[in-house]
Structure 1
Amino acid sequence: MRILVVDDDRQLLRALRINLTARGYDVQLAPDGVTALAMAARQPPDLVIVDLGLPDMDGVEVVEGIRGWSTVPVIVLSARHLEQSKVRALDAGADDYVTKPFGMDELLARVRAALRRASPALEEPVVRTDAFAVDLAAKRVTRDGHDVRLTPTEWHVLEVLIRHSGKLVPHRQLLQEVWGPRYESETNYLRVYLAQLRAKLEPDPARPRHLLTEPGMGYRFQP
């Protein structure tokens, strides 16, 4: 079982990694929201533990980003004790809310309970449009019943957009998730690869219905 832990507190990350690894979990650590969403897109976790007070975005935004494409269980850790904070996180899609400071045994019990509840629904979805279908687990795209050959980079771009289905993915985020932080300004890469994907998947590439451009902002996958 793969668990993604998102927190900017290095001491806490270390403690969680030690305790979760000792119990047989494969632990991935992310210090901020953008890194967490990129890691979740590349290697979908079986459970996410996320702090609300991240340096680059509110943890609720991470929950919403993950909920755009996944039903993976999410446990929120936070020093915010107000009822309003708890309600906001749970309404955004979190499955549980643990206030800091917390007991490690209690958190581990909540992890086990969340994984038990989610175990029947951990399979990757097949995303279907009226033009093509994408099997995320098999990394397979079909159109009119035939396989569509995508390059590794084309697949990665498509996968990131699908995992944020219906939501705007900013240029910077998409470039960082696919190519890495050094390529955040290379928007010409995106124009090239989106044109290639539309040519392969859209019935009318000049008037795309599913791989949409949001001028000056980014791209959106619309099922």
Structure 2
Amino acid sequence: MQALLFCPYVDESAVLTVILQQAGFTVRSIRNLEQAIAQWPEQPSELILIVLPLKNQATGQQISMLRGQTLSSIITITEIIPEETHIEWLEAGADLIISRPYSNRTLLAEIKALMRRTAGMPFFSLPTLTQSNLVLDPSLRTVQVSNRDPIHLTQLEFRLLYTLMTHVGQIIPTTNIVEHVWGFSGEGNQELVRGLIKRLRLKIEPDQKNPIYILTEPGIGYYFNRFTEGN
């Protein structure tokens, strides 16, 4: 397993690296969080540990951007923060917020417990789906389009495509997609869904400007199109 560590403090970064290694992770330290977010599809990790000072106003936005890219666990370490900020970060997508001072032993135990709880969707127990010339294989997390080479999907891409393919022809509202894919309810985030739809279309659609598999119902949501090749 790999962990992504963002910590601007050298001494604390060294301590956190050891803790993550004790939890079973290979640690990749970064200095530019925005760049890591942009490169996430090419360099994913199972865990993200972010250490930021209280005055960093962009923290909630950065957490939201990361959550839009991945289902991986997100932990933040900070000074004691107001309840409103704590709630904001959790709603943005953080799984665990640690306040200083913290115990190294307790942090290690909390990381291990979090990883047990967020082991991920049991893809191996889901059936293979075949719809409209697409074959979705949950065990490998791949999709095959018209007998071409299988294409690997991220967890989010898989959840989205699986949700759409199990409701062929049914319009799924954006808020429902957020709940199915990201696992939380509420008004949802249209930008998260729109970005994920775009990435998935890049992988499966012959022409992204004229999609044939994933179609948009303006103002409502998306649906998987039922058709046969040649129609």
TM-score range, shorter chain: 0.5 to 0.7
Q: Counterparts of 1:1-223 in structure 2 under 5 Å?
A: 1-38=1-38, 40-53=40-53, 58-121=58-121, 140-144=142-146, 146-148=147-149, 166-167=193-194, 201-208=204-211
**Structure 2 counterpart of 1:191:** none
Q: SS where residue 144 of structure 2 aligns?
A: strand
Q: Which amino acid aligns with 2:102?
A: F
> CA–CA distance in 2 between the matches of 1:206 and 1:136?
27
> CA–CA distance in 2 between the matches of 1:203 and 1:93?
33
Q: Contact between 2:54 and 2:81, CA under 8 Å: does it hold in 1?
A: no
Unaligned runs of 5+ in 1: 170-196, 211-221
Q: Contact between 2:73 and 2:95, CA under 8 Å: does it hold in 1?
A: yes
How far the C-alpha of 1:140 sits from its partner, in A, is 4.6
Higher fraction of helix: 1
> CA–CA distance in 1 between the matches of 2:22 and 2:209?
53
Residues 147 and 15 of structure 1, relative CA distance in 2, 3 Å threshold: same
- The alignment covers a number of residue pairs equal to 181
Q: Residue deviations 1:38-63, cap 9 Å, x none?
A: 45422332222113449998232332
Residues 23 and 166 of structure 1, relative CA distance in 2, 3 Å threshold: closer
Segment of structure 1 superposing worse, 16-25 or 6-15:
16-25
How far the C-alpha of 1:115 sits from its partner, in A, is 0.7
Residues 108 and 206 of structure 1, relative CA distance in 2, 3 Å threshold: closer
TM-score using structure 2 length? 0.56
Residues 43 and 140 of structure 1, relative CA distance in 2, 3 Å threshold: same
> CA–CA distance in 2 between the matches of 1:96 and 1:143?
38
Q: SS where residue 102 of structure 1 aligns?
A: coil
List, as ranges, runs of 4+ consecutive aligned residues in structure 1 with deviation greater than 6 Å. 54-57, 128-131, 133-137
TM-score using structure 1 length? 0.58
How far the C-alpha of 1:135 sits from its partner, in A, is 7.1
> CA–CA distance in 2 between the matches of 1:68 and 1:134?
22
Q: Percent identity?
A: 22
Residues 167 and 11 of structure 1, relative CA distance in 2, 3 Å threshold: farther
Unaligned runs of 5+ in 2: 159-190, 215-222, 225-231
RMSD between aligned alpha carbons? 4.6
> CA–CA distance in 2 between the matches of 1:137 and 1:87?
36
